[in-house]
């Protein structure tokens, strides 16, 4: 069974093959209406369950459209409306769904929920974001960087802000794709120790720099994300904003990076909080390419999981 649960759980050569396949499929569709099928429709006869226990715009729509372009059908399920939200175990849900559908994509809270789904499902399971990681996003981000700037290997990527789930997958990608990674943010919001430690053990050039202006020197890419994630309590909002305000990505900060440094944000963004609108809408921002590439990258991930 080939799941897609974590950037670190898929071998680097497979991650590379997924990105190559995503590029091929994107190129092959250039200029085509979005509602048309791909030339190749390997998901014909397949049904994909998309389970959401948290809100989503990009993940929901890009998976749904991607399955349809590949000839398959989708079923979008809200966790709260399923028996899963009313006491049925994950293990039983996994075994039942596996009798109906060919692939499960799940967005949930705890990583353990996703892992249990994968353990008991007899069809592949894809991580559509947990509190801990967001691997589909980072596959789209690596694809996007390389479209604009060529190979990501050896480049310097700086994450400014909360060391959250998206940041964690970026740290893992540093090891798998061979780029240098710098985290800049307040110590209390550092990525969980395990991610940085594992990356260092794997020989990745990972640094932590508390001064954002120093951190971005020489950066090829600066990345921001929301200061309050979906799993963070709203009561922590004011405290987090106060802690993270110095790490806002604005033109002053981008001025310290390389002149052609790209800016990324997985979206949804809170404009003029974690990043200013002039950066988000500026010439080096690729935020909407990232969003588009979710579609292409995830189509390749689904094909990889199903071996088709």
Measured CA to CA, the distance from residue 261 to residue 215 in angstroms comes to 13
Q: Which x/- pattern, by CB under 6 A, does the window 29-48 give for ligand CP?
A: --------------------
Of 66-74, 112-120, 225-233, 274-282: span binding ligand NVA (CB under 6 A): 225-233
Torsions phi, psi for 134 (to 5 deg): -150, 70
- Given 3, 29, 58, 107, which residue is catalytic? 107
Q: Maximum distance among all alpha carbons in the chain?
A: 55
Known catalytic residue at 134: yes
- 133 in contact with ligand NVA (CB under 6 A): no
Residue 103: CB minimum distance to ligand NVA, A: 21
Please tell me the distance from the alpha carbon of residue 306 to that of residue 1, in angstroms, as a whole number: 9
Distance separating alpha carbons of residues 243 and 262, to the nearest angstrom? 25
Q: Which is nearer to ligand NVA, 291 or 306 (CB)?
A: 291
Residue 196 and residue 170: Cα distance in Å, rounded? 11
> What is the rounded CA–CA span in Å between residue 108 and residue 52?
7
Distance in angstroms (rounded) separating the CA atoms of residues 97 and 300: 22
Part in contact with ligand NVA (CB under 6 A); list of ranges 11-19, 30-38, 203-211, 224-232: 224-232
Estimate to the nearest angstrom the gap between the alpha carbon of 47 and the chain centroid. Answer: 23
- Candidates 167, 171, 169, 184; CA nearest to 229 is 167
- Catalytic residue list contains 213: no
Nearest distance from residue 107's CB to ligand CP, in Å?
7
For residue 118, the surrounding DSSP H or E stretch is helix 111-120
Q: Least distance from C-beta 58 to ligand CP, angstroms? A: 4
Integer Cα distance of 267 and 297 in angstroms: 16
- Among this protein's residues, is 60 annotated catalytic? no
Kindly state the DSSP code that residue 307 receives in the 8-state scheme. Answer: T
Selecting among 29, 68, 132, 266, the annotated active-site residue is 266
Total chain residues near ligand NVA (CB under 6 A): 9
Residue 296 designated active-site: no
Asked if residue 90 lies in contact with residue 113, where contact means CB atoms within 8 angstroms, the answer is yes
Q: Is the dihedral of CA 257, 263, 267, 271 positive or negative?
A: positive
Residues 44-103 that bind ligand CP (CB under 6 A): 56-59
For residue 166, state whether it binds ligand NVA (rule: CB under 6 A): yes
- Interface residues for ligand CP in 123-142 (CB under 6 A)? 129, 137
Q: Report the partner that residue 244 touches, choosing among ligand NVA, ligand CP, none (CB closer than 5 to 8 A by kind).
A: none
Q: Which of 3, 46, 137, 240 is catalytic?
A: 137
C-alpha to C-alpha distance for 40 and 55, rounded to whole angstroms: 31
> Exposed, middle or buried: residue 28 (CB in 10 Å: 0-12, 13-18, 19+)?
exposed
| 226 lines the binding site for ligand NVA (CB under 6 A) | yes
How do 180-184 and 125-127 pair as beta strands?
A: unpaired
Residues 167-196 that bind ligand NVA (CB under 6 A): none
Only one of the segments 168-176, 223-231, 241-249, 300-308 lies at the binding site for ligand NVA (rule: CB under 6 A); that segment is 223-231
Annotated catalytic residue: which of 46, 68, 294, 303?
A: 294
Residue 225 binding target from ligand NVA, ligand CP, none, CB below 5 to 8 Å by type: ligand NVA
Binding status of residue 266 toward ligand NVA by CB under 6 A:
yes
Residues at the interface with ligand NVA (CB under 6 A):
129, 164-166, 225-226, 229-230, 266
| Residues with catalytic function | 107, 134, 137, 225, 266, 294
Residues at the interface with ligand CP (CB under 6 A):
56-59, 129, 137, 266-268
């Amino acid at each position: 069974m080939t799941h897609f649960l974590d950037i670190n759980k898929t071998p680097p050569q497979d991650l590379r093959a997924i990105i190559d396949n995503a590029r091929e499929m994107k190129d092959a569709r250039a200029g085509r209406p979005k509602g048309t099928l791909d030339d190749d429709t390997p998901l014909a006869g397949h049904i994909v369950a998309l389970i959401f226990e948290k809100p989503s715009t990009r993940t929901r729509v890009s998976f749904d459209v991607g399955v349809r372009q590949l000839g398959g059908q989708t079923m979008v399920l809200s966790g709260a409306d399923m028996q899963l939200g009313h006491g049925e175990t994950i293990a039983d849900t996994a075994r039942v769904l596996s009798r109906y559908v060919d692939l499960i994509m799940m967005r949930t809270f705890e990583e353990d929920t996703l892992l249990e789904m994968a353990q008991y499902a007899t069809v592949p399971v894809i991580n559509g974001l947990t509190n801990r990681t967001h691997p589909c996003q980072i596959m789209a981000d690596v694809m996007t960087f390389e479209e604009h700037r060529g190979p990501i290997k050896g480049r310097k990527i700086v994450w400014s802000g909360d060391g959250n789930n998206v940041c964690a997958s970026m740290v893992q990608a540093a090891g798998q794709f061979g780029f240098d990674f710098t985290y800049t943010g307040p110590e209390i919001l550092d990525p969980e120790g395990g991610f940085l430690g594992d990356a260092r053990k794997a020989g990745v050039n990972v640094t932590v720099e508390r001064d954002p202006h120093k951190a971005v020197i020489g950066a090829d890419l600066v990345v921001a994300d929301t200061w309050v994630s979906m799993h963070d309590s709203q009561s922590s909002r004011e405290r987090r904003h106060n802690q993270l305000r110095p790490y806002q990505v604005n033109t002053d900060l981008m001025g310290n990076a390389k002149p052609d440094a790209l800016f990324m944000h997985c979206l949804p963004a809170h404009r003029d909080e974690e990043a200013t609108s002039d950066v988000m809408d500026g010439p080096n921002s690729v935020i909407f390419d990232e969003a588009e590439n979710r579609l292409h990258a995830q189509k390749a991930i689904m094909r990889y999981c199903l071996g088709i």
